[in-house]
Amino acid sequence: MDIGEERERIEIKGKDELLEELSKCRRCRFCVDACEIYQVSENSEVMSGYGRVQLLRLLLNNTVELDDAVVYPIYSCLQCGRCTIVCKNKGQNLEVSELIRIGRSLLAKEL
């Protein structure tokens, strides 16, 4: 996948399906350095693709409470897709930015 290429849309119908997809993350953290927001946030890992995936997983498992400190990193994602490109290039093939978009949609329904 190259920048500017059409991103794949995955169909997830609810919380359980999103959790299943999020659990496929191998936690390699290759996507961390690819994130522009991570780079300008003094290297706060929660502001990276990996951090957002983990936050969504924790929220959906009811491990953390929904508050501004948790929601902000998820909504700070620019949806540029760089994390997805790195993930696919490293063989993981996870649609990171699309999962974050779907997570936002599910969170919006809860707010």
Q: Look at residue 66 and tell me if it is in a domain.
A: yes
Local confidence band at 14 (pLDDT 50, 70, 90 cut-offs): confident
Q: Which pLDDT value is given to residue 109?
A: 86
CATH assignment at residue 58: 1.10.1060.10
Cα separation of the two ends of the chain: 33
Q: Is pLDDT at 2 greater than 70 in this prediction?
A: no
Q: Look at residue 26 and tell me if it is in a domain.
A: yes
Per-residue pLDDT tens digits for 37-90: 999 999 999 999 999 999 999 999 999 999 999 999 999 999 999 999 999 999
Q: Look at residue 35 and tell me if it is in a domain.
A: yes
Q: Look at residue 1 and tell me if it is in a domain.
A: no
Q: What is the mean pLDDT of the chain?
A: 90
Q: Look at residue 6 and tell me if it is in a domain.
A: no
Domain count, the chain: 1
d(CA 62, CA 57): 9
Q: Which pLDDT value is given to residue 110?
A: 75
Q: Look at residue 57 and tell me if it is in a domain.
A: yes
Cα dist. 99→22, 40, 42, 84, 91 in Å?
Answer: 7, 22, 24, 10, 17
Spell out a b/e string for 78-89, using b for 16 or more CB atoms within 10 Å of the CB, else e. eeebbbbbbbbe
Q: Look at residue 84 and tell me if it is in a domain.
A: yes
Q: Look at residue 93 and tell me if it is in a domain.
A: yes
Q: Is pLDDT at 3 greater than 60 in this prediction?
A: no
Instruction: For residue 100, give its domain range.
Output: 15-110
